[in-house]
A = this chain, B = another copy of it.
Amino acid sequence: MPLSPAPVNKVDVLIIGAGPAGLMAANALVHAGVTVRIVDKKVVPVTVGHADGIHPRTIEILQSYGLGERLQREGTRFDRAAFYNPSPNGGIKRTQRTEAIFAPTARYPFLVTRHQGGIEALFRDSMASKDVFVQRPVVATSIELSDSRSDLESPDAYPVKITLKHLDSEDGDEEVVHAKFAIGSDAGAHSWTRKALNIGVEGDQTTSIWGVVDIVPDTDFPDIRNWTFIHSNQGTLMNIPREGDLIRFYIQLSSDTDFVNRETGRVDLTKASPDRIMEAAAKIMQPYRVVRVGNVEWWTVYIIGQRVAQTFSVKDRVFIAGDACHTHSPKAGQGMNASMCDTHNLAWKLSYVLRGWASMSLLKTYESERLKYAQDLINFDKKWSKMFSDKPQSEDNLEGVSHEEFLGMLASQSGFLSGIGIRYEPSTVVNNKHQACASKLIVGERMTPRDFVYAANVNPVNLHDVLPSDMRFKILVFAGDIKVEASMKRLHALGENMGTSNSFLWRFGQGAYEKVFDMLCICATKKDDMDFTDVPKFFRSHWSKVLLDDTDMYGRSGGGAYEAYGISREEGAIVVVRPDGYVGVVAPFDHVDDINQYFASFMLEAPEA
């Protein structure tokens, strides 16, 4: 059904909080044609500081929305990590340098830093092209959910009633908004939405106090442009290279500092100062010299909490996301990534339900996929923070954390830290029954990027560029070598099977399957041995739909994907990639029925015209 233009006090989705989680949701939904309002209590957006680390998987996701190139242009990438430990002669010395992150299948095997406001601007500018803007300063003052079962079960109903207060109006104007769905992506430990919904949190405040400064340094420290971990007898410091010549120091502050108010247990920023943080940094970095040039761009001091919300939704009509669901230390730079990945996971599901293409039950997989991830994240953070805070191993402190333990932790968690290895468990939208037919392409993980060439013109193309976040399922038909007669015969038979009215393409294609599904044919044939016109018309709605697993004209990229994916060139396979880029189901050519069943488990047929 078409999305009806709604009056401004009736919207498909109301989003509270325009940080990275809220903006990822808003941008994805707006481009999917969903009517969205997004509000934020801040008068103006963040322009410096705050979160700043973007991981390989998040870069891939941003690029799927067309935002990754600008991120890389405006941010700083870093490829190398350096580790320092106490020197026998006092001070520190370098123990080792390694890759900043080990993510061999990543399209972008590095980290990018950019201040949070720069990330948020990517989404805001993208939404502005659709004339949708963040309304601010606006807070929600009440939220009510209808208890009518028919309302709650109907994707067309507006069961969420939220009162918004415009803080810049002299009278404090309030308005009531009725929404089909709402997302609370408001700030962290103090999420208004989470509290208003009475969602509990599990976990605790720690005693770990950290200072953060963003500065341009004048220094002789040779690893100032690398991600650097310094364990000194004077304390622990993490250095992060940032855009331009900026760097960020995270410094562990002594627990007896007067920065903490003993009565409230909270940080008293009037007692802290960037100069005191820099003093601590200078001590830790001896014998290297470090002073700041010009102003401190941003700084803060905080005590780390490690908490996860008990549930991520109320009746699948109001959702919480991002810091409202999980808070933890910033030391592996996971926060902003986890937040954006939450709503990237949620947006397509909401869009499918709002369009009447999927049943409401699809929304349950948001919590099942993201709550488990959040718990894993907190568990990791506890171990990681402890290693960070503990004294380094030395002759006087044999019980301390050794460099090998520290590096081992980083290496063993690289799939998690890069986001590349995150795997969603089997569910209605993750079906690994035929995992064996694409043995190295893990169902539930993101589709692995590889370089291919277009059959029509041998232009190289990364698979991810043909898997944009356009709300469609991608049907990748790995046809094998179509110059082999048996393969071509099998491809024709597959086309006939998928062309029948029993096929998911027609049952769930909403009258014109290309609205819901994008189909590509990927051949193992060499570029000189075939033409794109050799592929049956059914599998090439356009010349760009035929890819080859072969090198480009100059041998600079391409080839080897069948092996990397564990797909047989003789048997082929069908790979279904979800709208968020995760592998949903794979099947051999003779098990299209299982793909039909996969879609039948959560998709709805179009009503008769």
A residues sitting closer than 8 Å to B (CB atoms) are 77-80, 97, 99-100, 104, 109-110, 220, 222-226, 241, 245, 454, 456-460, 528, 531-534, 543, 552-554, 556
Set of chain B residues within 8 Å of A459, measured between Cβ atoms? 77-79, 110
Please measure, in the bound complex, the distance between the C-alpha atom of A532 and the C-alpha atom of B222, giving whole angstroms: 7
Please measure, in the bound complex, the distance between the C-alpha atom of A554 and the C-alpha atom of B78, giving whole angstroms: 12
B220 touches A533 (CB 8 A): yes
Set of chain B residues within 8 Å of A528, measured between Cβ atoms? 97
Known contacts A99-B553, A99-B554, A554-B99; is-contact A224 B458 (Cβ 8 Å): no
A97, A528, A553 — most chain B CB neighbours (10 Å): A553
Sampled A-B contacts (5; CB under 8 Å): A79-B459, A109-B553, A110-B553, A225-B454, A226-B457
A457 touches B533 (CB 8 A): no
B225 touches A80 (CB 8 A): no
Please measure, in the bound complex, the distance between the C-alpha atom of A553 and the C-alpha atom of B245, giving whole angstroms: 21
Please measure, in the bound complex, the distance between the C-alpha atom of A104 and the C-alpha atom of B555, giving whole angstroms: 11
Set of chain B residues within 8 Å of A109, measured between Cβ atoms? 553-554, 556
Number of identical protomers: 2
Please measure, in the bound complex, the distance between the C-alpha atom of A223 and the C-alpha atom of B556, giving whole angstroms: 22
The contact of A553 among B80, B225, B532, B556, by CB within 8 Å, is B80
Set of chain B residues within 8 Å of A80, measured between Cβ atoms? 457-458, 553
CB of A105 to closest CB in B, whole Å: 11
**Whose C-beta in chain B lies nearest to the C-beta of A100?**
B553
**Whose C-beta in chain B lies nearest to the C-beta of A552?**
B79
Please measure, in the bound complex, the distance between the C-alpha atom of A543 and the C-alpha atom of B225, giving whole angstroms: 9
Please measure, in the bound complex, the distance between the C-alpha atom of A531 and the C-alpha atom of B220, giving whole angstroms: 10
A457 touches B78 (CB 8 A): yes
Known contacts A99-B553, A553-B80, A554-B99; is-contact A222 B457 (Cβ 8 Å): no
**Whose C-beta in chain B lies nearest to the C-beta of A532?**
B222
Set of chain B residues within 8 Å of A110, measured between Cβ atoms? 459, 553
B79 touches A457 (CB 8 A): yes
CB of A72 to closest CB in B, whole Å: 11
Set of chain B residues within 8 Å of A79, measured between Cβ atoms? 457-460, 552-554
Please measure, in the bound complex, the distance between the C-alpha atom of A78 and the C-alpha atom of B552, giving whole angstroms: 11
Set of chain B residues within 8 Å of A226, measured between Cβ atoms? 456-458
Set of chain B residues within 8 Å of A543, measured between Cβ atoms? 224-225, 245
A241 touches B457 (CB 8 A): yes
CB of A454 to closest CB in B, whole Å: 7
Give 15 new A-B contacts, CB below 8 A, not counting A110-B553, A222-B534: A78-B457, A79-B458, A79-B460, A79-B553, A79-B554, A80-B458, A80-B553, A99-B553, A100-B553, A222-B532, A222-B533, A223-B531, A225-B454, A225-B532, A226-B456
The contact of A554 among B104, B531, B533, by CB within 8 Å, is B104
Please measure, in the bound complex, the distance between the C-alpha atom of A100 and the C-alpha atom of B459, giving whole angstroms: 11
Please measure, in the bound complex, the distance between the C-alpha atom of A99 and the C-alpha atom of B555, giving whole angstroms: 11
Please measure, in the bound complex, the distance between the C-alpha atom of A501 and the C-alpha atom of B226, giving whole angstroms: 37
Set of chain B residues within 8 Å of A556, measured between Cβ atoms? 109
Set of chain B residues within 8 Å of A456, measured between Cβ atoms? 224-226
Please measure, in the bound complex, the distance between the C-alpha atom of A109 and the C-alpha atom of B245, giving whole angstroms: 33
CB of A540 to closest CB in B, whole Å: 12
A80, A109, A220, A556 — most chain B CB neighbours (10 Å): A80
A77, A78, A109, A533 — most chain B CB neighbours (10 Å): A533
7 closest pairs, A vs B, by CB? Answer: A222-B531, A225-B457, A225-B456, A79-B553, A222-B533, A80-B458, A99-B553
**Whose C-beta in chain B lies nearest to the C-beta of A241?**
B457
CB of A238 to closest CB in B, whole Å: 16
CB of A483 to closest CB in B, whole Å: 14
A79, A110, A226 — most chain B CB neighbours (10 Å): A79
Set of chain B residues within 8 Å of A223, measured between Cβ atoms? 531
CB of A383 to closest CB in B, whole Å: 25
Set of chain B residues within 8 Å of A460, measured between Cβ atoms? 79
**Whose C-beta in chain B lies nearest to the C-beta of A77?**
B459
Please measure, in the bound complex, the distance between the C-alpha atom of A163 and the C-alpha atom of B141, giving whole angstroms: 69
